[in-house]
Copies of this chain bind each other. A is one copy, B any other.
């Protein structure tokens, strides 16, 4: 059985963050919610990186447990659920934008959107607001 509660390794803020999303998949789910307005299990499963269903289910449950994400009945289909970012989840926007800027600078094959990068470099504060506002829906 997988442990849902990660062991707290120290009170270091970087270690705390990595205890929550220090893996290859969690931030891709946050990315899908924050930048691509995805909110359904099936939409996350469709992403290009091909997350496996057991990892996806595990990470969504952890994100819910850590209060980065809430889960509610889908208004369009009560038997399904939709996920939404909490303030704690939305507040990862600045960190993810810095991650995008770093990759855009160092990865030759980066698919980072040029308009997005220009906006991040010229007015990051406004971009953070826009991203969070769109993600709130």
Report A's interface with B, CB cutoff 8 A: 8-19, 22-25, 27-28, 31, 48-50, 88, 91-92, 94-96, 98-107, 109-112
Contact A16 B96 (CB under 8 A): no
Contact A24 B13 (CB under 8 A): no
Residues of B within 8 A of A8 (CB): 109
Number of copies: 2
Contact B111 A14 (CB under 8 A): no
Contact B103 A16 (CB under 8 A): yes
Known pairs A13-B100, A13-B112, A95-B98. 13 more at Cβ < 8 A? A9-B50, A13-B103, A14-B28, A15-B49, A16-B103, A16-B110, A17-B102, A18-B25, A22-B23, A88-B106, A91-B102, A91-B105, A95-B95
A102 CB contact (under 8 Å) in B48, B49, B92, B100: B92
A10–B18 Cα gap in the complex (Å)? 22
A2–B28 Cα gap in the complex (Å)? 23
Instruction: Knowing A22-B23, A88-B106, say if A14 contacts B100 (CB, 8 Å).
Output: yes
